[in-house]
Amino acid sequence: MSTDPVKLGIVGLGRWAKVLSRAAKKSNKFVISAGYSRSEDKRQAFQAELGIPAVPDMKTLLSDPEIKGVILTVPNEQHLPVAEEVAKAGKHVYTEKPIANTLENGLRLEQLQQQYGVKVMVGHSARLLKGTRMIKEAINRGELGTVALIEANFSNERALELTPDTWRWYKDKAPGGPLSQLAIHQFDAIHYLGGEISEVSSMASKLSPVGAEVDDQSLTLVKFADGKLAYIGSCWTSPGIYSIRVFGSKGLMHYELDFSTWDTPDKLHESSTLYIQRGKDGYSKREVLELPPGDMFRDELELFAQACISGDLPELTAHDGNVALAVVNAALHSIDNNGVNVKLSDVLEGARSRI
């Protein structure tokens, strides 16, 4: 088997494309060999800054037989049509989260795999954070005993900065505010840590003084198929935080990181905390665990590159992406109906019936 780096393309050359392209330069397993945007100015700026050739049209990118997969960092409503174009060309698809602008389109995007014989991967990179992986390893070893409860939070100050000329101001563009923009990361993380999700309920509030359409506070409760529970908070009017805590019969683990270093994940371990508290030990007896360096963006793209070679994608699948988006939809339905419990299977089946 060739050990040459896998060649990937990238479509959509805004801020996030640059974040991923910088992460790509740290890998010897793949290389981003071409980029495309409809904007000539963005193409020129991307090529000048990253040194990655920008092609004048999609046809040029997709006709290159050496490009095995394509990374999409386009707006949510463009995920499905661009992914379909890529899949038709026989190339694997990586799309940023959420998988699509609607659950129906997310399920259509998942179907591209069977239709065109490609893999679709969704960039829920937060589950690749080293602290989250170490918690999962501890669960699998039985170190925490029977897990009964998970709590998670992802918050920042976004709602204090919104103006009517930003898309996050509007309810139809950012439904639920932090629910769809931040909490969705944690929905995927708890799915990874806790397994199948069965029911969802949620409430929301609007407290920011700027007057945006969207809610800016979100609290969601989740019940897993095996009976464990989780609650996920997301505040859009506070300093940034990302934290997960898992409670088991033999111990608990807490992971927290500095959100200000999110775009430089190779530095996250320098300002993150992971500890385990065992049995009946108090907080003073907690064991602080050393976090190794990592880069969730490089790691996810290396996973995608490997899938382009092997055709095997063990996680970050289209199904995973649709589960996270279905939890968002279930939470929004619950908010609109005074916190009613919503079965996730009903949300998924309802979306499938509308395709």
| CATH number of the structural domain spanning residue 30 | 3.40.50.720
Provide the pLDDT for residue 2: 57
Say which DSSP state 179 is in.
I
Residue pLDDT, tens place only, 192-233 = 999 999 999 999 999 999 999 999 999 999 999 999 999 999
Residue 101 belongs to some domain of the structure = yes
Residue 352 belongs to some domain of the structure = no
DSSP H or E segment with residue 188: helix 184-194
Cα Rg of the chain, angstroms: 20
Instruction: Indicate whether 175 and 244 sit together in one domain.
Output: yes
Residue 341 belongs to some domain of the structure = no
Instruction: Indicate whether 48 and 159 sit together in one domain.
Output: no
pTM of the prediction?
A: 0.96
Residue 345 belongs to some domain of the structure = no
pLDDT along the chain (355 residues), means of 10: 86 95 95 96 96 96 98 95 98 97 97 98 97 98 98 97 95 94 97 98 97 97 98 97 98 94 88 96 96 96 97 97 98 98 98 96
Residue 82 belongs to some domain of the structure = yes
Instruction: Indicate whether 139 and 212 sit together in one domain.
Output: yes
Instruction: Indicate whether 209 and 244 sit together in one domain.
Output: yes
Residue pLDDT, tens place only, 322-338 = 999 999 999 999 999 99
Provide the pLDDT for residue 302: 98
Domain interval for residue 138: 126-295+327-336
Q: Which of 262, 102, 106 is closest to 182 using CA atoms?
A: 262
Q: Which of 1, 317, 20, 268 is closest to 9 using CA atoms?
A: 20
Residue 274 belongs to some domain of the structure = yes
* 340, 344, 346, 347: CA torsion to nearest 10: 90
| CATH number of the structural domain spanning residue 142 | 3.30.360.10
Total domains in the fold of the chain: 2
Return d(Cα 257, Cα 243) in angstroms, integer.
7
Residue 319 belongs to some domain of the structure = no
Residue 210 belongs to some domain of the structure = yes
Instruction: Indicate whether 150 and 173 sit together in one domain.
Output: yes
Q: Which amino acid is at 228?
A: K
Provide the pLDDT for residue 346: 98
